[in-house]
Every structure is written in structure tokens, then in C-alpha cells.
Amino acid sequence: MRSTPCTRAKSERRSRWEQLTREAIHAGVIRVLAQKGDAGITMENVAAEAGVAKGTLYAYFKDKSDLLESVKESSLEPLRKELSALLQGPLPPHERLTRLVERHLGYFDEHREFYRVLLWQRQSAKSRLKRQRSDPYRVMVDKIADCIRDGIRQNLFKPLDATKVAAMLMEANIAMIGQRLWEERPGPLDEDARLIIELFLHGLSAGAADPRSRAPLWSRS
């Protein structure tokens, strides 16, 4: 059956309405979280806060886990786009990695209340395994690895396994984000970002007095 301008318009209006409904529900989750904490995230509370019937909520999400996963993905998408653009940009490799860490930590500082529930979800080994197998996670690891390979080709970084180092850097960021979320008054973000960069780019060893004698990830030669 061929679509007509009228049916197309109806389809577009329905699609837009569904998008607005999802956005209202997502915003409702974040408000409930800010007001009542993660224990307050129930389908009933979210429906009431979003101004929709509980049945409408179940028309979009099968349960609380499905709802939280949807909110998480929509909230993380802007960050993924920003980090991808940064990693594929014109800056030198070590600058790209530095900016990556700073922005990754900064984004989560800006969304502290919501990301406490994400931190709670990440506690189990099952959740961690799911994250590491998820497409967005693997895509980001691959892009970081490409940046590291750029540094290896330019003789800036040691010839290490770029994919494994990229995964380690991602997990270090996630661990630091979790630490900052648990702290009532986290210290300056740039200090924590610099700590990660120092460990990954300059190595763990204090070494001799001359920093050039260290065995860094990136070469100063």
C-alpha cells in the first residue's frame, strides 16, 4: 500500500510523540533519582514523575532494568560523539589521550546524581562483562587503540599492545569516575585526570633523578 502525504504526516507525528514520551520518561528517571536516590527508582515513581500512565511505561520498557539501560544509553550518546571526534581530531596522540581522560571524568562530574545508579549497576561481574562486550564500549576502545597506534608510528609511544592498553585506560577512567562519585567532596578534576595520564603516559616507576631514564608509555626522545 502506497503511503500518502496524510499517512506520512500521521506517522511523523506519532514518531515525534513517541520520542517526546521517551524523553519525558528519561527526564522523570533523573528527577526521581535526584529526589529519592536509586532506591526510589520504581516504575510507579517514574511514571508519576513523567506524567504518564504506568501502562504507558510498560509499552516502552519491559522492566526497570530495561528502562535504566535506555536512559543510560541516551545519556551516554553525547559523550561518545564528543570523545570520538576528539580521538579522530588533529591533536598529537598524547594530547588526544589527555583530553579524552579530562572530558570523560568531567562529563560524569556534571551528571553526578544519575551516574550513581550506573556505578551501582557496574558492581557485579556480570555487568562488567556485559559492558566489555557491548558495541559502544568496544568501539571506544578501538578508537583509543587507533590513537595509541598513531603514537607508536610516530615513535612517541612504546610498541605495546594498543588494544589492551586502550582497554586498561578505559577501565582506569571508569574506576576514577566511581571514586569521584563516592567521595562527598572530590578533589580538583584536573588533578585526578593528570594522575591517570601520568600513570599511562609516564609509567609507574619513580626511576632515577633524570626522568628520561624511566620506561614510559610515550617516549620523550
Measured distance CA(97)–CA(99) in Å, rounded: 6
Say which residue, 158 or 141, is predicted with more confidence: 141
Query: Which grid coordinates are listed for 23?
Result: 524523553
pLDDT, position 66 = 86
Which DSSP letter does residue 155 get?
A: T
Q: Give percent of the chain above pLDDT 70.
A: 74
pLDDT band at 149; cut points 50, 70, 90: very high
Q: Indicate if the alpha-carbon torsion angle 213, 214, 215, 217 is positive or negative.
A: negative
Contact (CB, 8 A) for 41 and 117 = yes
Q: Domains of the chain, with CATH numbers? A: 1-61 (1.10.10.60), 63-213 (1.10.357.10)
pLDDT digits (tens, 9 = 90+) for 80-134: 999 999 999 999 999 999 999 999 999 988 887 666 666 655 554 455 556 556 6
Looking at the DSSP bridge assignments, the partners of residue 157 are 218
Measured distance CA(83)–CA(96) in Å, rounded: 9
Looking at the DSSP bridge assignments, the partners of residue 218 are 157
pLDDT digits (tens, 9 = 90+) for 47-71: 998 888 888 888 888 888 888 888 8
* 0.75 exceeded by pTM: no
Q: Is the pLDDT confidence value at 16 over 90? A: no
CA atoms within 13 A on the CB side of 67: 29
